[in-house]
Amino acid sequence: MLRTLLQGLCWALLAITLVGCATTKESDTARTGIEQLLVSSAVDQALDKIDFTPVRGAKVHLEEKYLDCVDKNYVIVALEQRLLMNGSTLVDKAEDSDVIMHVTSGGVGTDRQEKFVGISEIPLPPPSPIMIPQVSLFSRQRANGTAKLRVVAFDTKSRQPVLQGGVALARSDFKSWKFFGAGPVESGSVPTEIAAATNNADSIAGEAASIAAKKNGTTR
């Protein structure tokens, strides 16, 4: 009976030790490239949901003072690009415009969750400065970029609205996992966007496909 109890206690302690979580961030700049892409991708997706047809061909004055968020300049330029592609003309002064447009954000940013199964880093008793390193059996990282933008446009003279449904919410994602040190295997809208733009998938699946393509005499 005592032996069974001790065995159960040992298994319980082992289970507690094996479950842990950690956060690791590596970057040569203030923000990682993935973090910035998460934001810009979400912004692009949100702006793509807004119909700018009602201001096609109009002289538009874009008012920026109501926009206060991370990557503000990207939001402004991305919006200007869509207006230009829509056939609108950008003007600096409100009095020279047919339409005044305001843009603001309800939320632009990123969030991240990381989980792993393994042995957490364990410090040895003082005065030893040595720590037993973390041993990860399985780890998963998930990051999201969220952008909620509101665009209001009204006639310069009459002050009547000319743009309906000018609010859009979008989210981008990046997922990566490792198993017994192998990986990472990446998925989500941002890795898909990178692979499409660079013709390169930085993952185990991507490397395997690249090797297979070379053996078959094709390139990726």
Task: Return the closest-CA partner of residue 40 out of 143, 114, 110, 104.
Answer: 110
CA distance 14 to 118: 10
Specify whether the CB–CB gap between 103 and 2 falls below 8 A. Answer: no
- The domain limits of the chain are 29-118+136-174
The confidence score (pLDDT) of residue 28 equals 74
The backbone region for 12, taken as left when phi is positive above 0, alpha when psi lies in -120 to 50, beta otherwise, is alpha
**What value does the mean pLDDT of the chain take?**
82
Which of 5-9, 146-150, 198-202 is the least confident region?
5-9
Residue by residue, what is the 3-state secondary structure of 29-50? CCCCHHHHHHHHHHHHHHHHCC
The pLDDT score that the predictor gives to residue 216 is 52
pLDDT digits (tens, 9 = 90+) for 51-95: 999 999 999 999 999 999 999 999 999 999 999 999 999 999 999
Coil/strand/helix, residue 80: helix
Asked: is 29-118+136-174 a CATH 3.40.50 domain? The reply is yes
pLDDT digits (tens, 9 = 90+) for 33-44: 999 999 999 999
Residue 208 has pLDDT above 50, yes or no: no
User: In whole angstroms, what is the distance from residue 133 CA to residue 29 CA?
Assistant: 26
Q: How does strand 19-20 pair with strand 99-119? A: antiparallel
Per-residue model confidence (pLDDT) at position 50: 96
What is the percent of the chain with per-residue pLDDT over 90, rounded to a whole number?
A: 56
Mean pLDDT of 127-153: 86
pLDDT over 90 (residue 26): no
What average pLDDT does this structure show over 104-123? 86
By the 8 A CB rule, do 178 and 138 touch?
yes
- CA dist 195 and 187 (Å) reads 10
pLDDT of 4 reads 56
- Per-residue pLDDT, averaged over 5-21, amounts to 47
| 185 pLDDT tier (thresholds 50, 70, 90) | confident
